[in-house]
Chains A and B, each alone.
Chain A
Amino acid sequence: GENVEQHPSTLSVQEGDSAVIKCTYSDSASNYFPWYKQELGKRPQLIIDIRSNVGEKKDQRIAVTLNKTAKHFSLHITETQPEDSAVYFCAANDYKLSFGAGTTVTVRA
């Protein structure tokens, strides 16, 4: 089955700086890569996703890049704000969705 590794496990950034979270996956058949954000005490919610026929996708301050050859994908958050503080999960889908262990992002004011 798919194995997704996510780094770093915690990330502290100054407000206004950028944050980058990286994930690797093991199954070359995976072709769908979503990112979920989970605020404290809340449910996970999709923030952006990318499919294997696309190398990069952007939505306002959030972007995701995918390198299928190297089997890794990354989440980039620019101009971070306090409301970006949360746990972020990457995931990869071959025929089942497998999640990474999560990254706790803290944005310092």
Chain B
Amino acid sequence: EAQVTQNPRYLITVTGKKLTVTCSQNMNHEYMSWYRQDPGLGLRQIYYSMNVEVTDKGDVPEGYKVSRKEKRNFPLILESPSPNQTSLYFCASSPRRDSYNEQFFGPGTRLTVL
């Protein structure tokens, strides 16, 4: 089944404890992206990648890192999480090397930072 998967789906952690949220897609998509969703703010892009080893900042990149060592995986890293990073996170992928077409979203990861 063609899909985008994220792990974990739910995570409660404490301030400063490094964490990684994994994202994987099996559709051979070129473009991958991370968003955070907060009430009243919609979906805001954190980072995106148009190809392996190519990543770029979105609108809210502070406090986050990403890597794209393989085409299928695009992990999101929080080196030192803070409470303002409590949010619902979505990974998404798209077939071409841009975002001018349908984004396929993962199921989401709900992160709480205490």
* Measured CA separation A99–B100 after assembly (Å): 13
- One of A9, A31, A49 near B102 (C-beta < 8 A): A49
Q: Are B59 and A34 neighbours in the complex by a CB distance under 8 Å?
A: no
Contacts of A99 on B, CB cut-off 8 Å?
A: 35, 42-44
Q: Are A43 and B90 neighbours in the complex by a CB distance under 8 Å?
A: yes
- Say if the beta carbon of A54 comes within 8 Å of chain B: no
- Say if the beta carbon of B48 comes within 8 Å of chain A: yes
Indicate with 1 or 0, residue by residue over B49-89, a CB within 8 angstroms of chain A CB atoms.
Answer: 00000000011000000000000000000000000000000
Query: Interface residues of B, CB < 8 Å — how many?
Result: 22
Taking chain A's interface residues, is the majority helix, strand, or loop, or is none over half, making it mixed? strand
Indicate with 1 or 0, residue by residue over A47-77, a CB within 8 angstroms of chain B CB atoms.
Answer: 0010000000000000000000000000000
Chain A residues numbered 1-41 whose CB sits less than 8 Å from any CB in chain B? 1, 6, 9, 31-32, 34, 36
Q: A43-B105, A96-B59, A96-B99 are in contact. Are A101 and B42 (CB under 8 A)?
A: yes
Binding site for A on B (CB under 8 A): 33, 35, 40-45, 48, 58-59, 90, 98-103, 105-108
